[in-house]
């Protein structure tokens, strides 16, 4: 068989792996098998500009469909891979003949974590991962509509910011005592809570949803003793990585498909990239599963390099962003409970950075409307710098000079 790469999953990791293969001069066949009806697209606008109706579907596409055709990249849409046969080196599809591969990339991403309380299946209870998910509820976010968001993570809060601007009556229910609890220090969490409350969002913490109720459609969300009226519910409580194909094929899985820093599994013909992987990160000093576009793109590229026989480790500091109101939050590194937090700039003026020190080492930065700090902190974190906290707190000193 001549060289044929099959990529399972047409998200940003899969799309990037295909594009990088051609950029690196791969001349064999490349097929991206994806179960969605779209060319690979960017998900971040789904809870931001696309939800707000400010950008079209096409603007989210990584490349227009014609570009893939020009590069002889085959995109199989609405097509699900059901099994990997490593002995025969082929993938089985829900319909049609198996596809043979010489190299295989798993870029299967994640699926939304679902609620399993009573009433979870009622019409009007929505999730947010795909273009079709948004199209199913976007028109209902009209002035006066009662929107209940379950989950005070980034996606839930971004949806709240868009919906309140549209005039919806928005309630966020978060079961932890603080929003963004997993990812930021309490100071940051309180800052975001205050901004949302000032905009009119009703944020309720330590509020665990126990049921959804309604006659034929969701009308109420039950949280222990309290009842919140709802015309529409959007649940954002995280994702579950799609690892079943890999596990069934006997590949190592541990909260993600286990790969090395070059996106390689233990099978020399199989690679994995994006939200579905658990991978080592030198800067973090351990293995982790990241749900971020920069990681999906970096690992997609790494898989292509490894297939070309020129493995290139991913060494990037993890980074991510979130847009809410006038707040452009950009984050580098990963903070943990117990890290010392140093604030540079003014929270009241919505222009500051939260810097995190662990045993004196700069490990993470969450910059709000401070693009320079974001860019410069990447280098400091990668270099494991030990800045003087007093100087760090002084925004008149550039981070790069510390
Ligand atoms: C609303 C929202 C907002 C976000 N905002 C940000 C942000 O601001 N910044 C940021 O960095 N990240 C953000 N993210 C996260 C980011 O979008 C993901 O990290 C990124 O999309 C991961 O890409 P991926 O290709 O690994 O996985 P996915 O995007 O999940 O793509 C995987 C694809 O594979 C398909 N698939 C799975 N199994 C099969 C199969 N067996 N057969 C065929 N196809 C299959 C899936 O349906 C999917 O289309 C956001 C995500 C969402 C949902």
pLDDT score for 200: 98
Tell me, using a 6 A CB cutoff, whether residue 214 lines ligand 1.
no
H or E element at residue 131:
helix 131-137
pLDDT score for 209: 98
CA-proximal residue: ligand 1, atom 19 (nearest): 292
Tell me, using a 6 A CB cutoff, whether residue 34 lines ligand 1.
yes
pLDDT score for 181: 86
Tell me, using a 6 A CB cutoff, whether residue 35 lines ligand 1.
yes
Angular region, 20: left φ>0, alpha ψ -120 to 50, beta rest: alpha
DSSP 334-391: ---TT-EEEEEEETTTTEEEEEEEETTEEEEEEEES-HHHHHHHHHHHHTT----HHH
Are 274 and 10 in contact by the 8 Å Cβ rule? The answer is no
Tell me, using a 6 A CB cutoff, whether residue 62 lines ligand 1.
no
**Ligand 1 mean position to 62 CA, how many Å?**
13
Q: Which residues of the chain are under the pLDDT cut of 70? A: 1
pLDDT score for 54: 96
pLDDT score for 183: 84
**Ligand 1 mean position to 338 CA, how many Å?**
30
Eight-state DSSP code of residue 96 = S
CA-proximal residue: ligand 1, atom 37 (nearest): 108
pLDDT score for 351: 97
Which of 6, 85, 109, 239 has most ligand 1 atoms within 8 Å of its beta carbon, as the pocket-test mutant? 109
**Ligand 1 mean position to 72 CA, how many Å?**
24
pLDDT score for 282: 87
**Ligand 1 mean position to 93 CA, how many Å?**
20
- In order of start, what are the domains of the chain with their CATH numbers? 4-111+239-307 (3.50.50.60), 125-235 (3.50.50.60), 326-401 (3.30.390.30)
Cα separation, 57 vs 172, in Å, equals 27
**Ligand 1 mean position to 239 CA, how many Å?**
10
**Closest-CA residue to 279 (of 270, 288, 291, 266):** 288
Looking at the CA of residue 293, tell me the nearest atom of ligand 1: 11
Tell me, using a 6 A CB cutoff, whether residue 80 lines ligand 1.
yes
Per-residue model confidence as pLDDT tens digits over 173-201: 999 999 998 789 999 999 999 999 999 99
pLDDT score for 1: 57
Pairing state of beta strands 286-288 and 319-324?
A: unpaired
Eight-state DSSP code of residue 64 = -
**Ligand 1 mean position to 108 CA, how many Å?**
8
47 Cβ contact list (under 8 Å, min separation 6)? 128, 154, 155, 158, 159, 162, 236
C-alpha radius of gyration, the chain, whole number: 22
pLDDT score for 2: 75
The length of the chain, given as a count of residues: 402
What's the pTM value of the predicted model, to 2 decimals? 0.97
Which of 85, 135, 154, 293 has most ligand 1 atoms within 8 Å of its beta carbon, as the pocket-test mutant? 293
Tell me, using a 6 A CB cutoff, whether residue 321 lines ligand 1.
yes
pLDDT score for 302: 98
**Ligand 1 mean position to 275 CA, how many Å?**
7
Tell me, using a 6 A CB cutoff, whether residue 14 lines ligand 1.
yes
């Amino acid at each position: 068989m001549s060289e044929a790469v099959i990529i399972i999953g047409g998200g940003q990791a899969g799309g990037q792996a295909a594009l990088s293969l051609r950029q690196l001069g791969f001349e064999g066949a490349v097929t991206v098998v994806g179960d969605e009806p779209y060319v690979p697209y960017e998900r971040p606008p789904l809870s931001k500009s696309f939800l707000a109706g400010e950008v079209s579907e096409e603007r989210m596409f990584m490349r227009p469909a014609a570009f893939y055709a020009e590069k002889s990249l085959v995109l199989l849409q609405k097509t699900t891979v059901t099994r990997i046969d490593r002995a025969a080196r082929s993938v089985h599809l829900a319909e049609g003949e198996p596809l043979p591969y010489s190299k295989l990339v798993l870029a299967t991403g994640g699926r939304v974590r679902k609620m399993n309380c009573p009433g979870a299946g009622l019409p009007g209870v929505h999730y947010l991962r795909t273009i079709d998910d948004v199209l199913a509820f976007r028109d209902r976010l009209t002035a006066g509509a009662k929107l209940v968001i379950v989950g005070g993570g980034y996606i839930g809060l971004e949806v709240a910011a868009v919906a309140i601007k549209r005039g919806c009556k928005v309630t966020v229910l978060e079961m932890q005592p603080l929003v963004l609890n997993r990812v930021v220090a309490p100071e940051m969490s309180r800052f975001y809570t205050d901004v949302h409350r000032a905009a009119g969002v009703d944020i309720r913490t330590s509020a665990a949803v126990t049921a959804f109720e309604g006659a034929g459609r969701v009308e109420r969300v039950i949280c222990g003793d309290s009842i919140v009226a709802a015309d529409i519910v959007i649940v954002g409580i995280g994702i579950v990585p799609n690892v079943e194909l890999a596990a069934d094929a006997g590949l190592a899985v541990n909260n993600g498909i286990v790969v090395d820093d070059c996106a390689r599994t233990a099978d020399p013909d199989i690679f994995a990239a994006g939200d579905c992987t658990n991978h080592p990160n030198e800067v973090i000093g351990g293995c982790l599963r990241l749900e971020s576009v920069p990681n999906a793109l970096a690992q997609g590229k790494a898989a292509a390099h490894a297939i070309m026989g020129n493995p290139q480790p991913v060494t990037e500091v993890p980074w991510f962003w979130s847009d809410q109101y006038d707040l452009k939050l950009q984050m580098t590194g990963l903070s943990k409970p117990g890290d010392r937090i140093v604030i540079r700039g003014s929270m009241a003026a919505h222009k500051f950075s939260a810097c995190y020190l662990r045993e004196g080492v700069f490990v993470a930065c969450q910059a709000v409307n401070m693009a320079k700090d974001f860019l410069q902190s990447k280098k400091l974190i990668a270099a494991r710098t030990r800045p003087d906290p007093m100087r760090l707190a002084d925004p008149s000193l550039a981070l790069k000079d510390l």
